[in-house]
């Protein structure tokens, strides 16, 4: 027997399988999708069996495999198909597309060794009466009683005496048994109580449930607080009744502990979790739970779209507009594309939900590629919040740099009603830059083309791209004058608000306060329990959180996202403001949102303040059409990267002319330009953009181009087939 093995090699030019021969004693255990250990260039490597043949491809001498790693199949047929889909749609290698789907414990890698966890149980080794008669102490008898009905007793259980256990073991009255356990603990709360769906929810529910078993793409456009989650849960209940399974994707699990909690409470042990906040062991366990069909619902972030559920009945993607569904590193797959591919493969519905759908999705709903479903009212008829735009240029004249008069009034009145406040700022740290007023010196990252951010709690300056850190000095290193602080971040806002209202309790949530395990959960829980009055945070607090007592949301500086040089900056700003505003007044309180800006006449801000998606959509579509951007055109982004500036720019020019010569003449090639952040980690980056509508030649041209750079170890080419950021 011969097998084709896909090895754990990362290089693109080794994207091929290798043939090995299977020794007789292992033949029985061989199956496509299992991992094997094989010799390769004097090393031992792991790889996946992709094909079984009765004879070798060529006459070459083939080597024997060393061992089989798995008892059960790791890569089932569906995963192999998904792997091929990712390879084709992102132009990556098969081995990287397969590895990206799997938890670390199951990737082909000779180095990792993540094992199942076992617990030792105590069980009776003889009949109960006989055991009892052999006991020599009361403590021993107690232990016998505990396991008399055959129930397992954990050896490390705290209530029992270890010396008695050891005596019983020695006398062979009881024995130890190993039991495989899962690391992730179940929650004890069960709340199976369904909500009675309102009219709008019911309509959506009926539409979807009457199409189970069909491939249908839905866009569920539901305002914040319209009860999308309840609809998801009731639809899933129907799916489960049909003996099928479900995948639910959320942007970032750590930001949505309530979402997970609700699912676990409703569906109990049927729910498995897959996300990056889990340890490798936990992920491995959750994956096995799914393979063994013990879990019917998988809730997770991007990579949960690969969950090896059998009998898939539905895929739901909440907060469809979130950037997090696209993987930033290679392979740059988009979980929404994968979900749609899987839905088609399984002939099932896929639902994309959002209060602020991306223009691409909404435009396609207009063309019936997605069936549009709407939830236009908040549950319990709670009204959408009032939004006010405040002109910070005027405020500064009054000496208000951070908090406008209006925001302060709202904060005070919320406090007087014993309600809570969220302050949002899209920048962590204390101040943005430190500059010398005398000679103009600023601290910049030596590796990246960006200024360093001051963090007061650690009194250091950090690069938010590469992590480069230095301690701050009080005097300018160049001219020895005093240094000035410019701009502000979450840390500064926290400090200033504490100065302004010393009696209020203020909590901060950003990448710096949440880097420990469960950091988000703890902050969210404390705030939800009303242990704090004000939550200051970056955009991570704008997503999906449901705090009933929050009545005021202050956007400290709405301009930060607006000024990002990206054609989607308007869309991102709108979504951020709309979602953040949606945190206010979700139950009985009326929400008030204060948007502080230096661009008070900006149309996008106005649409956000009016919470008017349609108005924004029409305005922005018009711009996209004029400027030939998605959804009117598709984009490809290419980055040419090198430590050698001259070489990099030369190669980038060559790439552009190669593209212009070879792709469809109607497609546009822009660039090369220096990328947004021109230098990261000492690597220079030139960007090229292709805009196209229909281009049969494109994929082949890009593949050819890619191959030309594979062997070039001075210059790298990175291709992103549908970039979210350019």
- Residues of this chain that interact with ligand ADP (CB under 6 A) are 195-198, 201, 222, 224-230, 379, 546
Q: Kindly state the smallest distance separating residue 447's Cβ from Zn ion, in Å.
A: 4
Nearest Cα to Cα of residue 335 among 12, 540, 101, 77: 101
The answer to whether 366 touches 617, Cβ cutoff 8 Å, is: no
Region 439-458 residues binding Zn ion, contact defined as CB under 5 A: 445, 447-448
Question: For ligand ADP, which is the closer residue by CB, 379 or 555?
Answer: 379
Distance CA 258, CA 477 (A): 48
Given its phi and psi angles, is residue 532 left (phi above 0), alpha (psi -120 to 50 degrees) or beta?
Answer: beta
Question: For Zn ion, which is the closer residue by CB, 104 or 444?
Answer: 444
Question: For ligand ADP, which is the closer residue by CB, 239 or 309?
Answer: 239
Distance CA 442, CA 716 (A): 31
Question: For ligand ADP, which is the closer residue by CB, 121 or 229?
Answer: 229
655 binds, among ligand ADP, Zn ion, none (CB under 5 to 8 A by kind): none
* Cβ neighbour number for residue 723 with a 10 Å cutoff: 19
Question: For ligand ADP, which is the closer residue by CB, 22 or 223?
Answer: 223
Nearest Cα to Cα of residue 555 among 493, 613, 476, 627: 493
The residue number with the shortest CB distance to ligand ADP is 227
Question: For ligand ADP, which is the closer residue by CB, 225 or 687?
Answer: 225
Nearest Cα to Cα of residue 349 among 207, 474, 558: 207
* One character per residue 463-502, x = contact with Zn ion (rule: CB under 5 A): x-xx-x----------------------------------
Q: Angle 104-105-111 (CA atoms, 0-180°, nearest 5)?
A: 85
Question: What number of helices (H) and strands (E) belong to the chain?
Answer: 21, 31
Burial of 123 (0-12, 13-18, 19+ CB in 10 A): middle
The answer to whether 406 touches 594, Cβ cutoff 8 Å, is: yes
Question: For Zn ion, which is the closer residue by CB, 447 or 569?
Answer: 447
Q: Kindly state the smallest distance separating residue 383's Cβ from ligand ADP, in Å.
A: 14
Nearest Cα to Cα of residue 274 among 106, 112, 137, 433: 106
| DSSP at 104 | G
Question: For ligand ADP, which is the closer residue by CB, 356 or 490?
Answer: 356
Strand bridging mode 715-720 / 433-436: unpaired
514 binds, among Zn ion, ligand ADP, none (CB under 5 to 8 A by kind): none
* Overall size of the chain counted in residues: 726
**Residue 56 structure tokens:** 């070798």
201 binds, among ligand ADP, Zn ion, none (CB under 5 to 8 A by kind): ligand ADP
Helices 519-528/257-267 angle, 10° precision: 80
C-alpha to C-alpha distances, 265 to 189, 248, 261, nearest whole angstrom: 6, 15, 6
Question: For ligand ADP, which is the closer residue by CB, 229 or 453?
Answer: 229
229 binds, among Zn ion, ligand ADP, none (CB under 5 to 8 A by kind): ligand ADP
Residue matched to tokens 């080597």: 63
463 binds, among Zn ion, ligand ADP, none (CB under 5 to 8 A by kind): Zn ion
Q: Kindly state the smallest distance separating residue 228's Cβ from ligand ADP, in Å.
A: 4
* Cβ neighbour number for residue 627 with a 10 Å cutoff: 11
Q: Kindly state the smallest distance separating residue 187's Cβ from ligand ADP, in Å.
A: 17
Question: For ligand ADP, which is the closer residue by CB, 221 or 634?
Answer: 221
Bridge-partner residues for 508, per DSSP?
A: 536
Question: For Zn ion, which is the closer residue by CB, 462 or 543?
Answer: 462
Q: Kindly state the smallest distance separating residue 339's Cβ from ligand ADP, in Å.
A: 18
Residue matched to tokens 């202050």: 554
Q: Kindly state the smallest distance separating residue 260's Cβ from ligand ADP, in Å.
A: 13
Q: Kindly state the smallest distance separating residue 587's Cβ from ligand ADP, in Å.
A: 7
Q: What b/e string do you get for 258-281 counting C-beta neighbours within 10 Å, with b at 16 or more?
A: bbbebbbbbbeebbbbbbebbeeb
14 binds, among ligand ADP, Zn ion, none (CB under 5 to 8 A by kind): none
- How many of the chain's residues bind Zn ion (CB under 5 A)? 7
Question: For ligand ADP, which is the closer residue by CB, 90 or 224?
Answer: 224
Q: Kindly state the smallest distance separating residue 611's Cβ from ligand ADP, in Å.
A: 13
466 binds, among ligand ADP, Zn ion, none (CB under 5 to 8 A by kind): Zn ion
Q: Is 678 in the site for Zn ion (CB under 5 A)?
A: no
> Which region among 54-62, 64-72, 106-114, 462-470 touches Zn ion (by CB under 5 A)?
462-470
Q: Kindly state the smallest distance separating residue 656's Cβ from ligand ADP, in Å.
A: 45
Question: For ligand ADP, which is the closer residue by CB, 246 or 635?
Answer: 246
Q: Kindly state the smallest distance separating residue 468's Cβ from Zn ion, in Å.
A: 4
230 binds, among ligand ADP, Zn ion, none (CB under 5 to 8 A by kind): ligand ADP
Question: For ligand ADP, which is the closer residue by CB, 229 or 597?
Answer: 229
Burial of 68 (0-12, 13-18, 19+ CB in 10 A): middle
690 binds, among ligand ADP, Zn ion, none (CB under 5 to 8 A by kind): none
346 binds, among Zn ion, ligand ADP, none (CB under 5 to 8 A by kind): none
Q: Kindly state the smallest distance separating residue 680's Cβ from Zn ion, in Å.
A: 7
The answer to whether 21 touches 63, Cβ cutoff 8 Å, is: yes
Q: Kindly state the smallest distance separating residue 256's Cβ from ligand ADP, in Å.
A: 10
Spacing of C-alpha 378 from chain mean position: 27
Nearest Cα to Cα of residue 577 among 356, 394, 369, 376: 356
Query: Which helix (H) or strand (E) is 365 found in, with range?
Result: helix 359-366
Backbone angles phi and psi of 466, in degrees to 5 = -115, -5
Residues 6+ apart with CB under 8 A from 57: 19
Q: Kindly state the smallest distance separating residue 338's Cβ from ligand ADP, in Å.
A: 23
Q: Kindly state the smallest distance separating residue 197's Cβ from ligand ADP, in Å.
A: 5
Q: Where are the alpha helices (DSSP H) in 188-334?
A: 199-209, 228-241, 257-267, 280-291
Distance CA 722, CA 90 (A): 9
Q: Kindly state the smallest distance separating residue 544's Cβ from ligand ADP, in Å.
A: 7
195 binds, among ligand ADP, Zn ion, none (CB under 5 to 8 A by kind): ligand ADP
Question: For Zn ion, which is the closer residue by CB, 257 or 487?
Answer: 487
196 binds, among Zn ion, ligand ADP, none (CB under 5 to 8 A by kind): ligand ADP
Question: For ligand ADP, which is the closer residue by CB, 201 or 592?
Answer: 201
603 binds, among Zn ion, ligand ADP, none (CB under 5 to 8 A by kind): none
Q: Kindly state the smallest distance separating residue 193's Cβ from ligand ADP, in Å.
A: 10
197 binds, among Zn ion, ligand ADP, none (CB under 5 to 8 A by kind): ligand ADP
> Which region among 404-412, 437-445, 491-499, 604-612 touches Zn ion (by CB under 5 A)?
437-445
**Residue 255 structure tokens:** 């930001």
Query: Which helix (H) or strand (E) is 562 found in, with range?
Result: helix 559-562
The arrangement of strands across the sheet holding 349-354 comes to 271-274, 297-300, 245-249, 312-317, 349-354, 216-222, 371-375
Interface contacts to Zn ion, rule CB under 5 A: 445, 447-448, 463, 465-466, 468
């Amino acid at each position: 027997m011969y097998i084709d093995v896909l090895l754990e090699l990362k290089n693109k030019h080794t994207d091929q399988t290798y043939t090995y021969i299977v020794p007789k004693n292992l033949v029985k255990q061989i199956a496509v999708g299992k991992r094997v250990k094989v010799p390769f260039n004097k090393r031992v490597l792991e790889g996946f069996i992709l094909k079984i043949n009765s004879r070798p491809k060529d006459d070459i001498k083939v080597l024997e495999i060393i061992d089989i790693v798995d008892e059960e199949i790791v890569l089932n047929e569906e995963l192999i198909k998904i792997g091929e889909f990712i390879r084709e749609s992102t132009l990556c290698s098969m081995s990287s597309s397969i590895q990206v789907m799997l938890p670390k414990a199951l990737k082909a890698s000779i180095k990792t060794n993540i094992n199942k966890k076992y617990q030792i149980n105590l069980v009776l080794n003889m009949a109960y009466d006989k055991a009892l008669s052999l006991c020599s102490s009361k403590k021993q008898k107690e232990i016998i009683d505990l396991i008399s009905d055959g129930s397992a007793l954990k050896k490390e259980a705290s209530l029992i005496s270890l010396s008695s256990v050891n005596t019983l073991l020695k006398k062979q009255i009881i024995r130890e048994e190993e039991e495989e356990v899962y690391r992730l603990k179940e929650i004890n709360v069960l709340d199976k109580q369904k909500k009675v769906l309102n009219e709008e929810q019911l309509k959506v529910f009926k539409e979807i449930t009457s199409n189970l078993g069909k491939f249908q793409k839905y866009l569920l456009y539901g305002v914040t607080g319209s009860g999308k989650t309840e609809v998801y849960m009731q639809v899933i209940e129907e799916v489960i009744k049909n003996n099928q399974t479900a995948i639910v994707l959320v942007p970032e699990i750590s930001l949505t502990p309530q979402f997970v909690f609700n699912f676990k409470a409703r569906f109990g042990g049927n729910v498995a979790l897959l996300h990056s906040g889990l340890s490798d062991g936990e992920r491995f366990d959750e994956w096995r739970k799914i393979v063994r069909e013990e879990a019917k619902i998988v809730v997770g972030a991007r990579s949960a779209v690969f969950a090896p559920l059998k009998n898939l009945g539905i895929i739901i993607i909440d907060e469809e507009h979130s950037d997090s569904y696209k993987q930033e590193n290679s392979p740059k797959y988009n979980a929404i594309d994968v979900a749609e591919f899987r839905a088609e493969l399984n002939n099932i519905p896929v639902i994309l939900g959002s209060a602020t759908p991306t223009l691409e999705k909404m435009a396609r709903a207009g063309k019936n590629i997605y069936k549009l479903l709407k939830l236009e009212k908040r549950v319990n008829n709670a009204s959408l919040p009032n939004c006010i735009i405040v002109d910070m240029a005027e405020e500064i004249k009054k000496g208000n740099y951070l908090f406008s008069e209006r925001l302060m009034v709202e904060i005070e009145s919320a406090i007087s009603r014993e309600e809570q406040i969220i302050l949002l700022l899209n920048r962590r740290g204390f101040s943005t830059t430190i500059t010398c007023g005398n000679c103009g010196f600023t601290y910049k990252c030596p590796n990246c083309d960006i200024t360093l951010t001051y963090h007061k709690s650690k009194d250091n300056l950090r690069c938010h791209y590469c992590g480069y850190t230095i301690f701050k000095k009080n005097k300018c290193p160049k001219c020895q004058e005093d240094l000035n602080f410019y701009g502000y971040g979450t840390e500064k806002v926290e400090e200033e608000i504490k100065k302004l209202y010393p009696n209020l309790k203020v909590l901060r949530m950003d990448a710096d306060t949440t880097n420990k395990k469960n950091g988000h959960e703890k902050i969210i829980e404390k705030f939800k329990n009303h242990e704090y009055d004000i939550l200051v945070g970056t955009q991570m607090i704008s997503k999906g959180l449901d705090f009933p007592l929050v009545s005021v949301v202050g956007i400290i500086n709405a301009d930060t996202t607006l000024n990002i040089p990206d054609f989607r900056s308007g869309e991102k700003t709108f979504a951020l403001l709309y979602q953040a505003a949606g945190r206010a007044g979700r139950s009985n309180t009326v929400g008030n949102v204060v948007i502080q800006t230096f661009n008070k006449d900006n149309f996008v801000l106005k649409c956000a303040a009016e919470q008017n998606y349609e108005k924004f959509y029409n305005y922005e579509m018009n711009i996209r059409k004029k400027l030939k951007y998605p959804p009117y055109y598709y984009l490809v982004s290419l980055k040419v990267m090198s430590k050698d500036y001259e070489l990099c720019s030369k190669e980038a020019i060559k790439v552009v002319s190669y593209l212009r010569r070879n792709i469809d003449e109607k497609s546009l090639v822009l660039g090369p330009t220096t990328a947004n952040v021109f230098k990261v980690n000492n690597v220079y980056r030139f960007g090229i953009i292709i805009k196209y509508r229909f281009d049969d030649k494109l994929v082949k041209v890009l593949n050819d181009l890619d191959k030309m750079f594979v062997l070039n170890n001075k210059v790298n080419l990175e291709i992103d087939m549908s970039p979210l950021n350019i």
